[in-house]
Structure 1
Amino acid sequence: MQKLQKNVYIKEQNMSVISDEFILLNTKFTSRDEAFKGAALKLYNAGRITDINKFIEGIYEREKLFSTYMENGIAIPHCKIKEVKEATVVIIRNSKPLVWQNEEIANIMIILAIPAENPDNIHLRILANIAQALLNKDFVDVIKNTNNAEAIIDKFRVINSVSNN
């Protein structure tokens, strides 16, 4: 029996942005640099980006503007560059917190890879949907505690279907 891949779509573009393929739970990264490289490699191997180094540079350029650390051990690093072929969200839950900036620590990273050509500012919709989900205690609990990527996708879908109605 073939496993069905679960996805979260942005309805207007029929675009899959979150799938279980890009949810990495209980990783053992030792630094945020290593986590960014892990996400970049996953995106590259899936054909979502064309250049690992440019993607990582794009994240750091964005971090220079201001930290993407939110609170509660969660950060939302992102970049919008031409080397991204398809908007994708990578969710990493590291087994140990990683130093972010200004001594903040994060063990959950929701990494957004956004193409430079970005119809209808889709990145703003993705960010808004993620921000909406992070306001929901149940979603945060699931992302922090589950070992099931599909549970994260299901909870994200439920929260955003309620908030978009």
Structure 2
Amino acid sequence: MSLSTILTKETVAIGLKARDKQGIIQEMLDILVKAGLVPDQPAALAAVLERERKMSTGMKYGIAIPHGKTASVKSLVACVATSEEPVPFDSLDGEPSSIFIMTLSPPEKTGPHLQFLAEVSQLFKSEERRSAATSASTPAELLATITRP
């Protein structure tokens, strides 16, 4: 699996407006719904919020990876977005997040879900890549930053 096969210009956004965790999750779900990838937004929202209740998906270095498993999708779907202002996300390092990667997958398909999370985690270990992502001024530029080898 490759990020370039999962992400498209319709599933990448810059300038999220929300200033809290739930608002960011909602905005990201809106992106997936608008792209036609999530037919049942309430079920998807419930899945992501349930995962957040178990343990925050705020990672380190300004990255959050809200995700969940729901029968409302038939295969893995994802979106990536940035916010101009960092947003508190109960991150492991206590720092707010400005890069958000959301993924949803069906409950019975664990492999692609874990592979995607591992690929994203590896990608954003690079400070240079994180900086390029937060500096992107268009969704196309953000997509290019994420999908370049």
Instruction: Note the residue ranges of structure 2 that are not aligned, 5 or more in a row.
Output: none
Distance 1:137 1:101, change over 3 A: closer
1:49 equivalenced with 2:54 (yes/no): no
> Are the aligned partners of 1:91 and 1:109 in contact in 2 as well (CA < 8 Å)?
yes
Displacement of 1:104 in angstroms is: 4.3
Task: Specify the structure having the higher radius of gyration (Cα).
Answer: 1
CA offsets 1:4-60 (integer angstroms, 9 cap, x no match): xxxxxx26xxx9311121111012213221221111122123221121111111111
Aligned length: 146
| RMSD, aligned α-carbons | 2.1
What is the TM-score of this pair, normalised by structure 2?
Answer: 0.85
1:65 corresponding residue in structure 2: 54
2:29 pairs, out of 35, 40, 54, with 40
List structure 1 segments (4+ residues) > 6 angstroms apart after TM superposition.
none
1:83 equivalenced with 2:77 (yes/no): no
Distance 1:153 1:42, change over 3 A: closer
Instruction: Note the residue ranges of structure 1 that are not aligned, 5 or more in a row.
Output: 1-9, 160-165
1:26 equivalenced with 2:12 (yes/no): no
Give the AA of the match of 1:122. P
1:5 corresponding residue in structure 2: none
1:128 pairs, out of 118, 126, 129, with 118
> Are the aligned partners of 2:83 and 2:98 in contact in 1 as well (CA < 8 Å)?
yes
